[in-house]
Amino acid sequence: MTIDWQHFTPWSALGGGALIGLAAAMFVLLNGRIAGISGVLGGLLNPTRGDIGWRIAFVAGLVGAPLAYRLFGALPVLHIDAGTGALLLAGLLVGVGTRYGAGCTSGHGVCGLSRLSPRSLAATLVFMGAGFATVFVARHVAGV
């Protein structure tokens, strides 16, 4: 294993992570809910009464974050290398998978591990393992 020192950004990673933790902390302490993005978004597709407004607000906060971020500083340039077919396949898998798996990087990874949930630890190990394996196959076996 070689560390990519050029791209490794420990301080902004820790600081950004702390902000993500702060958002999850606010959400559970104020709203009594888990800040799991797949659950918040997916719940909009079979909503129950009184359950729609806060979901839309949370998603609007995420989508609106870049706009608000610009008040404080320049936005980073994002790199998305996947083509249309790969994006469609990846999106479908992420959509179905996070709903059946009952969580994603935020719900299981951040909130679940913070709650010391064995189920979330298992889910996190599984999706990280699958992610590692997929990138290994794509980059080092298939050579995409």
Partner 1 sequence: MSPVFERRITMHIVTSLLAGLVFGFGLILSGMADAAKVLGFLDLAGAWDPSLALVMGGAIAVGLPAFALSRRRSVSLLGAPMRLPTARAIDRRVVGGSVLFGIGWGIAGFCPGPALVALGMGLAPALIFVAAMVAGMGVFALLEKGGHDDPRR
**What is the footprint of partner 1 within residues 36-75 (CB under 8 A)?**
36-39, 41-43, 45-46, 48, 50, 53-55, 57-69, 75
Length of the chain: 144
DSSP at 43: G
What is the size of the binding site for partner 1 (CB under 8 A)?
119
Binders of partner 1 among residues 9 to 28 (CB under 8 A) are 9-10, 12-28
Min separation Cβ 56 and partner 1, Å: 8
Letter for the amino acid at 33? R
Phi, psi of 82 (to 5 degrees): -65, 145
The 78-117 site mask, x for binding partner 1 (CB under 8 A), equals xxxxx-x-xxxxxxxxxxxxxxxxxxxxxxxxxxxxxxxx
Residue among 32, 49, 142, 143 that touches partner 1 (CB under 8 A) = 32
Min separation Cβ 45 and partner 1, Å:
4
Shortest gap between Cβ of 88 and partner 1 (angstroms)?
5
* Whether the Cβ atoms of residue 33 and residue 27 lie closer than 8 Å to each other: yes
Q: Which two tokens stand for residue 134?
A: 């997929």
Query: Of 96, 93, 99, 104, which is closest to residue 134 (Cα–Cα)?
Result: 93
Does residue 76 touch partner 1 according to CB under 8 A? yes
CB of 27 to partner 1, least distance (A): 4
Distance of CA 114 to the CA centre of its chain: 15
Find the binding residues for partner 1 in span 115-134 (CB under 8 A).
Answer: 115-119, 122-124, 126-134
Kindly write down the DSSP assignment for every residue of 67-89, as one continuous string: HHHTTTSPPPPP-----HHHHHH
